[in-house]
Amino acid sequence: MDKKLVRMTVEEYIDTVASSSPAPGGGSASALCGAQGAGLVTMVAGLTVGKKKYADREEAAKAVIEGGMPCVDGLKGQIDRDTEAFGLVSSAFKLPKETDEEKKARSAAIQAGTLTATEVPFDTMKMALEALRNARGLLEGFNTSAASDLGVAALELLACVKGAWLNVLINIGSLKDRERAERFRAEGLEILAEAQTLSDEIYDNAMRFICE
């Protein structure tokens, strides 16, 4: 793909996802969810800064913005990284396999590509979890007119973690290094559990202000 996904218009990106091409797929879509969620968190913090009603939360909100922008930028980068990782695996499977040497080289390339295709969504999970941890800094007080935006942020970041987790799982089954595969699985389950807890907490907090 010549054009970076993040450089496309929204319409171009969605049309590309909706095409018959296998990439961008769920991993890139998950990263986009995460970038949007992290962005919404910084937006809510930005809407809190400078408001007299939330003057006591000014510094905390500024800290959320400072901690949130690296999450936004990191997750934006994962959108293309995931598609590029898929390309590595796809290219490896197309390598020649006529001789024993070619078969060996092809197998090694497939494993290297699969490892990258596992590491990228795993990193996406970690970035989205960090964004959720950062979002928790708003729970002591934020501009409640943006409560729905914070709730959506929680949902998008959890969708990012869960979607990326699916991509980790589908790849670790093909890793020959079973010890490494099990480390991905164990650490991924820990990330998933913490992300679920944080997302629920943030979402429920947002709902409290919306429904009161």
**Sequence ranges of the domains in the chain:** 5-211
Q: Is the pLDDT of residue 94 over 60?
A: yes
The CB density around residue 131, as the number of other CB atoms within 10 Å, is 32
Res 3: pLDDT = 83
Alpha carbons 27 and 88: distance in angstroms, whole number: 14
Region 9-36 average pLDDT: 95
pLDDT tens string 32-64? 999 999 999 999 999 999 999 999 999 999 999
> How many residues are there in the chain?
212
Structure tokens at 103: 């078969």
Question: Residue 212 — very low, low, confident or very high, per pLDDT cuts 50/70/90?
Answer: confident
Structure tokens at 32: 């986009």
Which CATH number does the domain 5-211 belong to among 3.30.9.30, 3.90.950.20, 1.20.120.680, 3.20.20.80? 1.20.120.680
Q: Which residues contact 200 (CB under 8 A, 6 or more apart)?
A: 154
Region 80-105 average pLDDT: 95
Res 2: pLDDT = 66
Res 6: pLDDT = 95
The CB density around residue 36, as the number of other CB atoms within 10 Å, is 19
Region 150-156 average pLDDT: 98
Res 207: pLDDT = 94
Q: Are 70 and 134 in contact (CB under 8 A)?
A: no
Res 1: pLDDT = 55
- Percent of the residues in the chain that have a pLDDT greater than 90, as a whole number: 97
Nearest to 74 by CA among 28, 132, 31, 27: 31
Res 98: pLDDT = 93
Region 25-37 average pLDDT: 97
Res 134: pLDDT = 98
Q: Is omega for the bond preceding 70 within 30 degrees of 0, making it cis?
A: no
Q: Is the pLDDT of residue 66 over 80?
A: yes
pLDDT tens string 170-191? 999 999 999 999 999 999 999 9
In DSSP notation, the chain reads --S-GGGS-HHHHHHHHTSS-S-S-HHHHHHHHHHHHHHHHHHHHHHHTT-GGGGGGHHHHHHHHHHHHHHHHHHHHHHHHHHHHHHHHHHHHTS--SSHHHHHHHHHHHHHHHHHHHHHHHHHHHHHHHHHHHHGGGTT---GGGHHHHHHHHHHHHHHHHHHHHHHHHHHTT-S-HHHHHHHHHHHHHHHHHHHHHHHHHHHHHHHHHH-
Region 17-31 average pLDDT: 95
Average pLDDT, the chain: 96
